């Protein structure tokens, strides 16, 4: 059977919504701490959480702002966030199902946009960034957070290979330079970029995406055969756990 990319994303994430709500790798981190600090300066703002997944950006910023719209391609993800927001008593979070590349919002409707760990799944990064810029007021802040490629071709190929084996909705972990260029093309000014390391525990990393056993074994085989430089760069452990880098791009709409 032939599937469009968005159908693949929906299949991958739809059934796993609860796993993303409770994921330790997604519910904490220095990026969320910094985001909470930024959001303290956004009182009164209407904020878009683009590719909200299990909703951790929304729960982090909701106490500081007027409204959050948590938006995701997967209706099941959006439903899980709706339930969780109610459980947490966060009445200022509303939800919307939509693809980043075609947002159902007005031009300049938002005072801030945050997008965390989603863009590497998008079929069209440029279109998604253009839409994020369109719905944001001129001069307003946005924060994009995502896994980045180390750049070196050998390391880049290893990273994209294990990501795709684990999750067929993976498109690309971009280099910082690719991100910076794409943000500029979409009409954003880059104010600050920072990075941090994120250790991924192998068993929960594949369980979260229900990676078939044969593909998880293929990842372990790639890791076992990888060069010493690749093993060192990703700090690949005996159990397959490894470390990726996350970049936070703090930008403003030009």
Ligand X SMILES: C[S@@+](CC[C@H](N)C(=O)[O-])C[C@H]1O[C@@H](n2cnc3c(N)ncnc32)[C@H](O)[C@@H]1O
Question: Contact positions toward ligand X, by CB under 6 A?
Answer: 9, 13, 20, 26, 51-54, 56-57, 72-74, 77, 99-101, 116-118, 121-122
Tell me the CA distances in angstroms from 180 to 6, 29, 126, 146, one per residue in order. Answer: 25, 23, 12, 12
- Residue 170 or residue 226: which is nearer to ligand X going by CB? 170
Using Cβ positions, the residue closest to ligand X within the complex turns out to be 53
DSSP code, position 227: -
CA dist list (Å): 75 to 7, 58, 158, 237: 12, 16, 32, 36
- The answer to whether 127 and 101 have CB atoms below 8 angstroms apart is yes
* Tally of CB atoms within 10 A around 205: 22
In the complex, minimum distance from the CB of residue 47 to ligand X, in angstroms, rounded to a whole number: 13
Helix axes 75-87 and 5-14, enclosed angle (nearest 10): 40
Strand partners, 242: 200
Which C-beta is closer to ligand X: that of 164 or that of 231?
164
Q: Which of 99/129 has CB closer to ligand X?
A: 99
Q: How far is the CB of 64 from ligand X (least distance, A)?
A: 16
Shortest Å distance, C-beta 229 to ligand X: 28
Question: Which residue, 120, 112, 109, is CA-closest to 182?
Answer: 120
- Report yes or no: 25 and 95 within 8 Å, Cβ to Cβ: no
CB of residue 224 vs ligand X: minimum separation in angstroms? 26
Minimum CB distance to ligand X smaller for 49 or for 111? 49
Identify which of residues 46 and 121 has a Cβ nearer to ligand X in the complex.
121
State in angstroms the smallest separation of the CB of 227 from ligand X: 28
């Amino acid at each position: 059977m032939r599937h469009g990319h968005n159908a693949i994303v929906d299949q991958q994430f739809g059934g796993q919504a609860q796993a993303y709500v409770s994921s330790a790798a997604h519910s904490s981190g220095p990026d969320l701490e910094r985001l909470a600090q930024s959001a303290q300066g956004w009182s009164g703002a209407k904020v878009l959480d683009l590719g909200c997944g299990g909703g951790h950006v929304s729960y982090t910023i909701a106490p500081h702002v007027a409204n959050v719209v948590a938006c995701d391609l997967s209706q099941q993800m959006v439903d899980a966030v709706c339930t969780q927001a109610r459980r947490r008593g966060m009445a200022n979070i509303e939800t919307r199902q939509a693809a980043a590349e075609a947002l159902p919002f007005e031009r300049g409707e938002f005072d801030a946009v945050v997008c965390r760990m989603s863009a590497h799944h998008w079929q069209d990064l440029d279109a998604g960034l253009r839409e994020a810029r369109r719905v944001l007021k001129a001069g307003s802040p946005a924060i994009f957070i995502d896994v980045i490629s180390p750049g070196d071709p050998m390391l880049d190929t290893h990273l994209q290979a294990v990501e795709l084996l684990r999750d067929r909705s993976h498109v690309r972990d971009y280099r910082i330079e690719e991100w910076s260029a794409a943000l500029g093309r979409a009409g954003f000014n880059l104010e600050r970029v920072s990075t941090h390391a994120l250790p991924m525990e192998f068993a929960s990393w594949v369980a979260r995406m229900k990676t078939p056993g044969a593909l998880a074994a293929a990842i372990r085989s790639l890791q076992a055969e990888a060069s010493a430089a690749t093993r060192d760069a990703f700090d690949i452990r005996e159990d397959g756990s490894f470390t990726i880098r996350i970049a936070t791009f703090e930008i403003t709409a030009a």
